Structure 1
Amino acid sequence: MLKLHTAPGTIGLACEIALAEAGAAYEVHRLRFAQNEQRQAAYLAINPKSRVPALETDRGVITEAPAIMGYIARTHPAARLTPEGDAFAMAEAESLMSYLCSWVHPAAAHRHRGARWADDPAAIAELRRKAPEVFGAAMRLIDERLFRGPWALGEAYSVCDPYLYVLTSWLPRDTLDMADFPRLADHHVRMGERPATRAVLAAVEAG
């Protein structure tokens, strides 16, 4: 049995959707950030990075969303969540996932977690001002150039899609109008219609 440690409002949602899409047997532990559970000894014993998501497996713990979703895809090949067997297509998937996790996701985080990068209140305020511009530019590039359609990589759904879905859901939170990203907005609607996504969102809502 896999155990996913996640928290509401985080990219852990993408991993949970990937687990549901794969038909995996798993359970979920939702940490309460308001109570700083991610910094308490019980969770630090699982993930000393003090972050989510983390996936407990029978061989140990995997951290970082791209690694977790890659593991899910490789251990559930029947779900066909990555283009295995095609080296170039796999590299394209890894390229998009790397861009999402190394640039797009942190760009969004700078608005809400400026204290990670600065102590000066003026600097934190500037990060908060600038972050939506950087996040929006990255998402616009995806919308206009990198998104294949109808899914992130083209005709086949992949683990890139739940990651992109969660990031798109953050656009309004970061003062950006989803209507300015029409292809991603359409993708977001179609993602929300998938049974796995609906099931996971219902579970999150139920707590």
Structure 2
Amino acid sequence: MHSDSWLYKDIVDFGHSTPHWVQKLMEMWTEVGLLLFGVLFVAVWWRARQSDSRAMALALLAPVGTAVAYVISEVVKSMIDEERPCRAVAGAAASLIACPADGDWSFPSNHATIAGAAAVGIALAVPRLGWFTVPLALLMAFSRVFVGVHYPHDVLVGLLLGAVVSFAAAKGLGRPVRSLVETMRTSDTAVVTWFTGPGPGLKSRHRRS
């Protein structure tokens, strides 16, 4: 039994003590909440089409860093093989959602990894959104324990893993991706220039012409 099993049991018990509508909201959030980060990725990319090449590079690297973090999380899961607490913790209340199938390991939490990576990636691209994305990521991580499918350490490590990988991707790949964006914006292929957007320079030239 893990050292934080007692905390897991306390959080799951707390979940069972909340009103039915709170439980349903948390169940819904833990299942579909990651879609909101996907919507934010698209919105940040669309905004970056009218911004400089650095902004576009960060907008593109946010989902890339998140995807890399997810792959690393999956690799770690396959190496550690930690059983889900909804099967392993004796005396714990039943999970609020179905316990994942045997072999769908617990450590680290993929949901928390994706949420942590997305939150940091989006915040780096649009800093003021960090006040929105970071609480969303924390809520996603908490919800995975609340509904009974992860230990607290699963989601904590997932958040940290996602955040570190996303930050490293933005810092390590920012310069080459920025150069790539600048090249793509001078392309003669319409779909390429549409994807990257005109940037602020072309807009200024249009206003002067």
**TM-score normalised to structure 1 length:** 0.27
Structure with the larger RCO, 1 or 2 (CA within 8 Å, 6+ apart): 2
* Larger relative strand fraction: 1
**TM-score normalised to structure 2 length:** 0.26
Please say which structure displays the higher CA radius of gyration. Answer: 2
